[in-house]
Amino acid sequence: MARIWRVSVTKHARIVALVIGSLLVGSTAIAQTNYQPAPENLQARREFQDAKFGMFIHWGVYSVLGAGEWVFHDHTLTLDEYNRLPLFFDPEKFDAKAWVALAKAAGMKYITITSRHHDGFAMFDSKVSDWNIVQRTPYKKDPLKMLAEECHRQGIKLFFYYSQLDWHNPNYYPRGATSWNNGRPDGGDWNSYLDDYMDGQLRELLTNYGPIGGIWFDGMWDKPDADWHLPKTYALIHQLQPAALIIPNHHQTPRPGEDVQTFERDLPGQNTAGFNTTTINTQLPLESCDTLNGSWGFNISDAKYKSPAELERKLVQAAGNNSNLLLNIGPQPNGEIQQEFSTRLLAVGDWLSKYGNSIYGTRGGPIAPGDWGVTTQKDNKIYVHVLSWRAPLLALPPIPSKVVKANSLLDAAAVEFTQNADGIIVKVPPSNSEETDRVIVLTLANSH
Ligand code: H79
């Protein structure tokens, strides 16, 4: 008996060893599970954190209808109906140079653009299928190519948004939570969708556009329990461009192989949107995305534009929470960016030309964000961003370093302060009701 038992245990052990072995041999999955970011990836993460402010662009054939990027779904269109949209997409006013120049003038340091959204329509020259801008539209050109060239010329990093969710491809099967009966067959090859179609397109995006900042994934939440072959896809990306950052908007805590944690319409850890995780990965750069009005893709009936002051506060709040802000605009189908967007962006750029020192290159400061505002830090400077405080004195909690000097950022005027074991009290310069943010610079002793 005992002998038989021992044999069967040995047999089991052998099977287990075999399974583990087969996972180890030639499997990129293991490589990404034990993901060690390449030195250039770690460097890219630091540069990403220094950049602080990016332009998010949602642009696709959905823009033609002026009802946002979910119009296929929201109007329960059929495949036949949606297939007509590319025929009207002819953005004769698209000017890559002007888009990049606008991002720069707004003080933005990177651009993240939809290479394809949930409609699966590739806004680039893809050989993987003909469901793309070059083959289906009268425009026939690849705007991402033009944008990539212009970004490289003007020194802006370009990231590609890529929707893993696909409402068009029959191989996106079994369909997910957001699917409806739009005329796709009841069958499809999920593995082929991931390995051939998606990885094929990612290979194109990481090969044909020069060095890119990274891939911003969205839509995995449509099929949360599916096997997305993430380790394989992540390994492919890091193998093609080790510095490219993988930024997944799956609303979960980060997984191995991911380089940035992003939060949709929320500051990190604050789940006001209702679908974000409240767990922050302290090892990774953080990003928060939001919209300039209320929409991502061009929406002709959305006039809820945020004021420059609101946008500046969002940026300051993000920076004070150790995060970037990725601010979205949805260009028109003709390729133009509407004035309501550009004027506000230019105003933010103007503000940043004065306040940028307290934002760019900083990390979240040593004092936790409060109702009064936030802090950022760079080298031996702490920037106290007073966003909402009417009283003349502001009491801050203690910090380990000695403050040797306090100045107003704008005019360098000395600011009175006292520091003891209980904290720091600063005399806040009087508030001018027009001012978005009053920044006081604390200079610390014993630092470089
Ligand atoms: O690209 C933009 C939007 O089109 C896309 N992400 C941004 C960047 C987006 N898709 N959905 N949402 C934003 C809102 C989130 C809805 C969700 Fe759900 C709630 C996801 C999970 C819970 C709805 C219900 C979709 C799946 C279940």
Q: Is 221 in the pocket of ligand 1 (CB under 6 A)?
A: yes
Q: What is the mean pLDDT of residues 396-411?
A: 97
Q: Is 162 in the pocket of ligand 1 (CB under 6 A)?
A: no
Q: Is 11's pLDDT higher than 60?
A: no
State how far the Cα of 257 lies from the Cα of 337, in Å rounded to an integer. Answer: 35
State how far the Cα of 250 lies from the Cα of 261, in Å rounded to an integer. Answer: 9
Q: Is 35 in the pocket of ligand 1 (CB under 6 A)?
A: no
Please give the pLDDT value at position 432.
79
Q: Is 435 in the pocket of ligand 1 (CB under 6 A)?
A: no
Q: Is 447's pLDDT higher than 90?
A: no
* Per-residue confidence band for 431, with pLDDT thresholds at 50, 70 and 90: confident
Please give the pLDDT value at position 20.
39
Task: Estimate the crossing angle of helix 96-105 against helix 339-355, to 10 degrees.
Answer: 40
Is the distance from CB of 48 to CB of 245 less than 8 angstroms? yes
Q: Is 5's pLDDT higher than 70?
A: no
pLDDT in tens, 164-174: 999 999 999 99
Ligand 1 mean position to 87 CA, how many Å?
A: 27
Q: Is the pTM of the predicted complex or chain greater than 0.75?
A: yes
Please give the pLDDT value at position 3.
36
* Per-residue confidence band for 33, with pLDDT thresholds at 50, 70 and 90: low
Q: Is 233's pLDDT higher than 90?
A: yes
Q: Is 392's pLDDT higher than 90?
A: yes
Residue with the nearest Cα to atom 11 of ligand 1? Answer: 219
Please give the pLDDT value at position 434.
74
- Probe ligand 1: pick from 221, 225, 262, 302, max atoms within 8 Å of CB? 221
pLDDT in tens, 347-390: 999 999 999 999 999 999 999 999 999 999 999 999 999 999 99
Q: Is 218 in the pocket of ligand 1 (CB under 6 A)?
A: yes
Q: How does DSSP assign 228-287, residue by residue?
A: --HHHHHHHHHHH-TTPEEEEESSS---TT---EEEETS-TT---SSSS-S---TTS-EE
- The alpha carbon of 4 is separated from its chain's Cα centroid by a whole number of angstroms, namely 58
State how far the Cα of 101 lies from the Cα of 81, in Å rounded to an integer. Answer: 36
Q: What is the mean pLDDT of residues 394-421?
A: 97
Is the bond preceding residue 285 a cis peptide, omega within 30 degrees? no
Q: Is 178 in the pocket of ligand 1 (CB under 6 A)?
A: yes
Return the closest-CA partner of residue 218 out of 69, 74, 104, 100.
69
Q: What is the mean pLDDT of residues 140-154?
A: 98
* Per-residue confidence band for 21, with pLDDT thresholds at 50, 70 and 90: very low
* Per-residue confidence band for 8, with pLDDT thresholds at 50, 70 and 90: very low
Strands 363-364 and 373-378, by their bridges, are antiparallel
Average pLDDT, the chain: 93
